[in-house]
Structure formats: structure tokens, C-alpha cells
Amino acid sequence: MSGSESRVLSVLPDLLAGESRMSEATRRQREWAVMGALEYLAGSATMRAMARITVADLMDPDAVDAYIRASQSGTLRVRRTAGKADESPRSTAARVSALRWLARATGTRQPPPFADWTPLAPVPEDAPAALRTACEALTTMNNFYATRTAATIAVLYATGASGYGLCTLRTDQIGADRGRRLVRVPAQDPAPQRWEPEGETALAPVPAWGTAALDDWLALRAGTVGCLQGSDPRTLLVSGRANAGPRPPGMPLRPRGLGRSWARSRYVAETAVPGLEMPSTVEAACRAVRALVLTPGSPRPESRSATARPAAAPA
């Protein structure tokens, strides 16, 4: 029997347990979403009704559309919140994402992704100043996680990197020149005014107020990865404690871990500095830096956008 013809309840447990890299939170979310689709399509939560449904039944376009409409209308909500009858677009997107995962895992045609058009919160004008204040406050705390977040702020301020970009940044991209710290990044056109283009790459200067934080973190990181049995992972951001499974301290930090660490450090910084409102997430800080700090300069002369074609001569 092919994957699409398999009954969902016969393959779902093994699929959920078979992916070692799937976090427990993702595993619970996918189980919640797929079981919700099963119950809705079967019209009953009984095992007898749901056991007959195959993966192909669940991925039928009409069934998926009905499931999405039920999610958007709030029909699937178990816990009712006063004044909020509908599900959030993120909940609907999570449900569709789980169905796409199941289709991909069973070799079935995937339903189209669900677009979350929720508008982003506006970027506060004082966000760059708040990042500087938070970095300076965290630098003085002499704590592994505070130091790591302070260095993260300094590098983010220089590069505008997203959470994924920060987690993939390598130590060999960090350099020094006349007392400055520089981060080598892929070139952009037009490049931010603060960057120094060098062919296919550019040097993003770390702000002076963030240099001490980055230096402290590089020293702390060296001591952490020095305890590893094996080679240095070379990623700039590493974990400070053992994670689930055989992952000792000093292993590459993942975006989810970076997000949790950012939330904890935000609480610490805002407690230490009354009135401080640090960007709530890494991505919010990234948007603020890109919008307010890394303003683009003029395009390079050799770029197509910068060189207009001459007008044709009149006949």
C-alpha cells in the first residue's frame, strides 16, 4: 500500500517518532494539527470513525479547504477566549504546515502553503538606542548568557542578520582592524552606508559600544568549546549547557535556542534598566536595525541598476 493510500492513524505514530531532529514542541504541534484534521473530516472523535481515513482523504483539496475555513471561523477552537472567537492566522498556518509535513513524509501531493498576512508591528524609532542600552547593561553582568546576548546584539547591529543568519555566522568571519571589530558578510548592492565593500563580500563594522561585548564573548566561547571532545564547530554562537540528547555545551546554537535566550536576557536587561523596552524578539531587532541603522547607500557604478542605458539615437 502506497503512502497516500495508508490510513493516517497507521503511519502517524511512526512518522512522529521517526524524526530525531524534530523538537518535542514541533512533534506535539503536528500531532495536534493532524488529529484535528482527522476529527473534523470524520465528523467524530471516535477511533472507529477516524481509523478509516487515508492520507489521500486528508489531503483532498476540498477537505483541506474545509479544514482551513473551520480554523479561520473558530469552529476548531477548544478553549474560548472572551472577545476572540476566531483562530489566529498563525494557528491556521501551523495546521496547514503539519498537513504539508504529513504529505511530504508519505509521498503525497502537498496542499498549498497558508499565507499569514498578519501585519508586522511598527518599528519603534528608539529601538536602536534600546539595543545599545541593553548591550551595555548585559556586558557588565559577567554571565554566560548575558554576555552571549550582548555579543549577539553587537553583531546584529552591524549586520542586520536574522536569527538563522546569526546562528550560522562563523568565527572566521570576525576580524579586527585598528581596534575595531569587523564582520565579513556577503556583499549587497546597494550596500548599507556603514559597510565597507570588498568585492564579493563586505566588512560590517561592529559599533564601538559593542566591541567589548564581542571580545568578552569570544574569550568565553573559546573556553567553552575547548572542553569539547572533537573539533571546534566554528559557529560564533554556541550553547552553554547540555541539550536534549548527546549535545554537550559548546555546540552550535540553534534559532529556537537563540530566541529563548533572547527572551530571558530581555527580562534581565529590562529589570536592570528601568524604562528600557528592548525589542521583544531577535526578528523584531533585525527589522529595526535594517530599517533604522543599515540605511542603503548609493548603488555601485558597475551595477545594472546604477547604469542607465543610453537613449536610442533618433532615426
- pLDDT, tens digit, for every residue of 267-281? 999 999 999 999 999
**What is the structure's pLDDT at 259?**
94
Which residue type is seen at 147? T
Q: What is the CA radius of gyration of the chain?
A: 25
Whether residue 84 has pLDDT greater than 80: no
153 class by beta-carbon count within 10 Å (0-12 exposed, 13-18 middle, 19+ buried): buried
298 class by beta-carbon count within 10 Å (0-12 exposed, 13-18 middle, 19+ buried): exposed
Pairing of strands 174-177, 201-205: unpaired
Whether residue 160 has pLDDT greater than 60: yes
Which grid coordinates belong to 9? 492513524
Identify the three-state secondary structure at position 33. helix
Query: What is the 3-state composition of the chain as percent helix, strand, coil, each rounded to the nearest 5?
Result: 50, 10, 40
pLDDT tens, 294-309? 987 655 554 433 333 3
pLDDT tens, 123-143? 899 999 999 999 999 999 989
pLDDT tens, 233-287? 899 999 987 665 566 778 889 898 999 999 999 999 999 999 999 999 999 999 9
Cα atoms in the 13 Å half-sphere on the side-chain side of 278: 26
Whether residue 310 has pLDDT greater than 60: no
pTM: 0.66
**What is the structure's pLDDT at 283?**
93
End-to-end CA distance of the chain: 70
Q: What percent of the chain has pLDDT over 70?
A: 86
